[in-house]
Chain A
Amino acid sequence: MQCFTCPFCGPRDETEFFYGGEAGKERPEPSAEVTAERWAEWLYGETNSKGPSREIWLHLTCGEFFLMERHTVTHEVFATRATRGEEA
């Protein structure tokens, strides 16, 4: 059971969270100009990095999405912070 720190609520058990995807993915728009390859990359392309990773998580309890930097092998969490007003 991992323990994540919601930037709004503090440290909570992992079961309160939901993985929202890798951070930094930009939705390609307008769709009329988006190639099929680019769209497929947006839908299904994941870095799946082994090691440090920047991810979006949702704290189900408070409903806030936030940024988490963590290590996918050791499960060490380096930082969590609100995405508000920042590029995620």
Chain B
Amino acid sequence: MSVRRIAEAAAAESLEFTFDGRPLRGQPGDTVASALLANGVRIVGRSFKYHRPRGIWSAGADEPNAIFDIRLRGATQPNARATMVALEAGMEVRSVNSRPDAERDRYAFLDCFGRFLPAGFYYKTFMWPDWHRFEPSIRQMAGLGRLDPATQPAGATQRNLHCDLLVIGAGPAGLAAARAAALAGREVVLVEQQPRFGGSLLHRPARIDGLAGPAWVEDCLALLRDRGARLLSSTTAYGIYDHRLVCLWEQRGEGGDHLWRVRPRQIILASGASERPLVFDDNDRPGIMSADAALAYLRRHAVLVGDDIVIATNNDSVWPAAAALAEAGARVTIADCRRTPPLPAPAGVELLPGAPVGLVEGRNAVAGVIVGTRRLAADCLLTSGGWTPNVHLYCQHRGRLRYEEARLALVPGEDLEDLAVAGAARGALLLQEALAEGHRAAVGGGEGPRSEGALASFHIEAAWPDPRSARRQWIDLQNDVTVKDVALAARENFRSVEHLKRYTTLGMATDQGKTSNMNGLAALAAVTGRSIPEVGTTTYRPPYVPVPFTVIAGRRRGQLFAPVRRLVLEREHREAGAAFREYGSWLRPAFYGEGSPAEAMAREAQRARETLGLFDGSPLGKIEVMGPQAAALLDFTFYNRLSTLKPSRIRYGFMLQENGVIYDDGVVLRLAEDHFVVSCSSGHVPGVVMRLEEWRQDRFDPGRVVIHNSTAEWATLTATGPASRELVAALDLGVDLADAALPHMAFTTGSFQGQPLRVARVSFTGDRSYEISLPASHAAALWRRMREEGARLEATLLGSEGLMILRAEKGYIIAGKDTDGYTLPMDLGLTAPREKRQDEYLGKRSLFTEEAEKPKRPAFVGLQVEGKEPLATGAHAVERCAKGFRSLGFVTSSYWSPNLQRPIALGLVEAGRQRMGEEIEIYHLGNLRRARIVEPCSFDPEGERLNA
């Protein structure tokens, strides 16, 4: 029995869980890591590359080895760090990168090939003939946790918070800062990544203001609560972003995680420091652990990590651990690299000065330690190579580090305007320093809390990795990077630390090198003959710890990721058997009824021409432009003049971009001298509003023209076909439907159930059509009436797909489908405004450039083919040239026309007008077809049906 619990909680309080299928028991207050140690588990996983057995290293966020998939309540959290997850009953804990489990891993043989797998091995070896041939099997062996596609973890709740002071870290410095700030009346938010507040005060010996460490922590928390501070535990500040946005991930277990977006006025970073390993031969064996972590497991969880404990160190910080472990009953030896350690050995502890570790015996556990010429019996080896301040957030916030020789650490330089660093995070490892710094950072001066009984001095001597060693020494435990790998990279001239990192993958694992970065820098410095400050450090980027995508995504997924817009009549359409598709952001009926989609579309398109089609056109834009300058604004923003339009009349028009390219087409209604409605395409409503707004504010008097987007307020229900007038007449809308009173491209007003409505004669089918716009609240009632009356007239419901066929038969364009980012209005044959307009309008100058006047521009044409098969949309019109084919353009729309009983197609073809009547070749997926260039309009070219 080597690692075990020395004080069990009452049996009633035990928490059952499994590890790699084995049933185990923990107790309340355990982390997954402490529970595993309490059960004597040494091997917790297999290393990433060589599948070497690994054990728990730390008790904090820097843990490189104890990475698990944890299944609880039907959901799996992949790659959880065992040191940061509070144990819950029923957890199924599974080691990663091991098959079948951590103890008996079948890929362990890979370690024997270690010398054949140096840094860059995969880059160099699997390039030929193709990496993708090797990738699947390599990925199977490597990698960490597995996502469980069967379960969707709940999305996190995302919350915003503004506060005066955000204190990150609730160890001594953070608590002193929060306490002082709260007493000074400041609004404080205090976050702690561990489940419990207190940091090192929970396990390192100290008395503060007369209280034992944990009691002082409780005192501080009570005071903070009393003053209204917000306290968040199990909460990691993982990133500082632009303009001081701090993101916090709060793990709440069953309650569901929260993501907090905090904008504090000031930040105090008291994130502590991580103990880094000493690097020696085989320094990755299970049972080698951080000395401070061993103390934490003892004091917080009553777990004793061994009976025969060797503590290897180059500094004073292990003394409290040595004393406590000896007191708990272990035989403890300190093997100190330093020839003359400044402190005397603690009671009951043997101190070996000038004694670096030579060799570790044992493979799956520590069996003994060779120090100089002595062999020490050991079942556990604790090491401390010094402390690395957790400066990540300071660096993310553009802080600059400096190297402090006395502490062998990169520490924050100047405090930032809005971010101060306090305590071990700035290298202040002694308790009294940390308390004073925290206090000062919060209130600028004065007396902080007083401590006694803690370590009073800190001395450290360099003991960096030695690149001359013959055996493997591990720097990055999670990514399996050795000192030899660093030396190899340096030999291959990867001298920049950023290149070293990417080539060896040092520091690129999920722990982001929290325990390995300093040793890596030191190794590179040694290999290249430079100092550590000369080597410099890599860039710190968020997140500080791995954050699940589900937390970042929050509720923005599934339907909420890009919410669709829904028709007010969606229910009515569903009841009528509509098949819905997304058009722009709108969910609209594509077609109705059973049978094949193609048949349904054709049936609707045919019936709409024979009798009557009823179509829900509600998403059509309804942008009101009002005021004395309304006509002038529209004149400027449209290619067609609109100021000459008479009230109660409608005009078809184009909106261009400043580069002349067509942005949208639509109709404009003039309600009165100073009141227009722009009915643009459904998908372009926000863009048209924004363009109108831009020029309204830039060029006109915004007090004399205003824009109101009333698209959602009005439904638009359309009747099209020979029976459409009869239908509208039957609706009893109080409207004179005589063609003299309401000709094509005119509108009138009427009413339905006391609601005002507008009836417009516009047509997207080429047949007589009436668009009825009325308040959306009364759309269902009118639609019902239209269907009732329509039944008598053999009406069909017309979905978007059928309408697309009808408009293509007429050669009507869809802007953005039949035009592209190059199409000028002249390419569609719309030349009159360009020739006639003397005034300024959007895009005008672009219509007179060399490019615009090029003779062989693409032109919008129809394409007629033999046979029954329509052309493929997107297929290219080609001509033969020396190299094979040259593209002349492409097919933009193509359908089977049920009314013509043949395929129809539209396209943009180079010099298409001049080629009218010619046959060209259309290329698609290796096949060529012949097509004749014809006019775009293939149905009722005289337009007689508009008034039929």
| Same complex origin of A and B | yes
Determine how close the nearest CB of chain A comes to the CB of B685; give it in whole angstroms.
13
Question: What is the chain A residue whose CB lies nearest that of B840?
Answer: A29
Give which listed residue, A3, A31, A36, A39, contacts B840 with CB less than 8 A: A31
| A 5-36 binary contact with B (CB < 8 Å = 1; else 0) | 00000000010001010000000111100101
Using A43-B658, A65-B694 as known contacts, say yes or no to A1 and B245 having CB atoms under 8 A apart.
yes
Question: What is the chain A residue whose CB lies nearest that of B703?
Answer: A84
A66 to B849, CA, bound (A): 32
Tell me whether B698 is interfacial, beta carbon within 8 Å.
Answer: yes
Tell me whether B14 is interfacial, beta carbon within 8 Å.
Answer: no
B840 x A75 contact (CB < 8 A) = no
A73 to B495, CA, bound (A): 28
Using A2-B242, A3-B243 as known contacts, say yes or no to A20 and B694 having CB atoms under 8 A apart.
yes
Tell me whether B501 is interfacial, beta carbon within 8 Å.
Answer: no
Cβ of A88: which chain B residues have Cβ within 8 Å of it? Answer: 698
B848 x A31 contact (CB < 8 A) = yes
Cβ of A43: which chain B residues have Cβ within 8 Å of it? Answer: 658-659, 846
Cβ of B844: which chain A residues have Cβ within 8 Å of it? Answer: 31
Question: What is the chain B residue whose CB lies nearest that of A3?
Answer: B243
Tell me whether B693 is interfacial, beta carbon within 8 Å.
Answer: yes
Tell me whether B845 is interfacial, beta carbon within 8 Å.
Answer: yes
Using A31-B848, A36-B850 as known contacts, say yes or no to A3 and B693 having CB atoms under 8 A apart.
no
Cβ of B241: which chain A residues have Cβ within 8 Å of it? Answer: 1
B698 x A34 contact (CB < 8 A) = no
Tell me whether B261 is interfacial, beta carbon within 8 Å.
Answer: yes
Give which listed residue, A3, A39, A63, A83, contacts B849 with CB less than 8 A: A39
A2 x B243 contact (CB < 8 A) = yes
Using A39-B845, A84-B702 as known contacts, say yes or no to A65 and B693 having CB atoms under 8 A apart.
yes
Determine how close the nearest CB of chain B comes to the CB of A12; give it in whole angstroms.
11
Cβ of B702: which chain A residues have Cβ within 8 Å of it? Answer: 84
Determine how close the nearest CB of chain B comes to the CB of A14; give it in whole angstroms.
8
A31 x B845 contact (CB < 8 A) = yes
Cβ of B697: which chain A residues have Cβ within 8 Å of it? Answer: 64-65, 83-84
Give which listed residue, B242, B693, B846, B848, contacts A1 with CB less than 8 A: B242
Which chain B residues (682-734) contact chain A, with CB distance < 8 Å? Answer: 689-690, 693-694, 697-698, 702
Determine how close the nearest CB of chain B comes to the CB of A88; give it in whole angstroms.
8
Tell me whether B484 is interfacial, beta carbon within 8 Å.
Answer: no
Tell me whether B263 is interfacial, beta carbon within 8 Å.
Answer: yes
A84 to B849, CA, bound (A): 33
Which chain B residues (792-849) contact chain A, with CB distance < 8 Å? Answer: 840, 844-846, 848-849
Using A1-B261, A29-B840 as known contacts, say yes or no to A34 and B243 having CB atoms under 8 A apart.
no
Question: What is the chain B residue whose CB lies nearest that of A11?
Answer: B263
Which chain B residues (869-899) contact chain A, with CB distance < 8 Å? Answer: none
Determine how close the nearest CB of chain B comes to the CB of A21; give it in whole angstroms.
9
Cβ of A83: which chain B residues have Cβ within 8 Å of it? Answer: 697-698
Question: What is the chain B residue whose CB lies nearest that of A75?
Answer: B242
A39 x B846 contact (CB < 8 A) = yes
B694 x A58 contact (CB < 8 A) = yes
Cβ of B849: which chain A residues have Cβ within 8 Å of it? Answer: 36, 39
Question: What is the chain A residue whose CB lies nearest that of B263?
Answer: A3
A65 x B698 contact (CB < 8 A) = yes
| A 50-72 binary contact with B (CB < 8 Å = 1; else 0) | 00000000100001110000000
Determine how close the nearest CB of chain B comes to the CB of A28; give it in whole angstroms.
8
A3 x B245 contact (CB < 8 A) = yes
A84 to B701, CA, bound (A): 9
Cβ of A3: which chain B residues have Cβ within 8 Å of it? Answer: 242-243, 245, 263
Question: What is the chain B residue whose CB lies nearest that of A43?
Answer: B659
Question: What is the chain A residue whose CB lies nearest that of B847?
Answer: A31
A77 to B243, CA, bound (A): 9
Cβ of A36: which chain B residues have Cβ within 8 Å of it? Answer: 849-850
Question: What is the chain B residue whose CB lies nearest that of A20?
Answer: B694
Determine how close the nearest CB of chain B comes to the CB of A33; give it in whole angstroms.
10
Determine how close the nearest CB of chain A comes to the CB of B716; give it in whole angstroms.
24
Cβ of A2: which chain B residues have Cβ within 8 Å of it? Answer: 242-243
B658 x A1 contact (CB < 8 A) = no
Question: What is the chain B residue whose CB lies nearest that of A74?
Answer: B398
Cβ of B850: which chain A residues have Cβ within 8 Å of it? Answer: 36
Determine how close the nearest CB of chain A comes to the CB of B866; give it in whole angstroms.
44
A3 to B244, CA, bound (A): 9
Determine how close the nearest CB of chain B comes to the CB of A6; give it in whole angstroms.
14
A1 to B243, CA, bound (A): 7
Using A31-B848, A39-B845 as known contacts, say yes or no to A75 and B694 having CB atoms under 8 A apart.
no
Given known contacts A3-B243, A31-B840, what 4 new A-B pairs fall within 8 Å (CB)?
A3-B263, A30-B840, A77-B243, A84-B702
- Which residues of B are in contact with A by a Cβ distance under 8 Å? 241-243, 245, 261, 263, 658-659, 689-690, 693-694, 697-698, 702, 840, 844-846, 848-850
5 A-B residue pairs with Cβ-Cβ distance under 8 Å, sorted by A, are A30-B840, A31-B844, A58-B693, A63-B689, A83-B697
The 9 A-B pairs at the shortest CB distance, nearest first, are namely: A31-B845, A2-B242, A3-B243, A1-B245, A31-B844, A39-B845, A2-B243, A65-B697, A75-B242
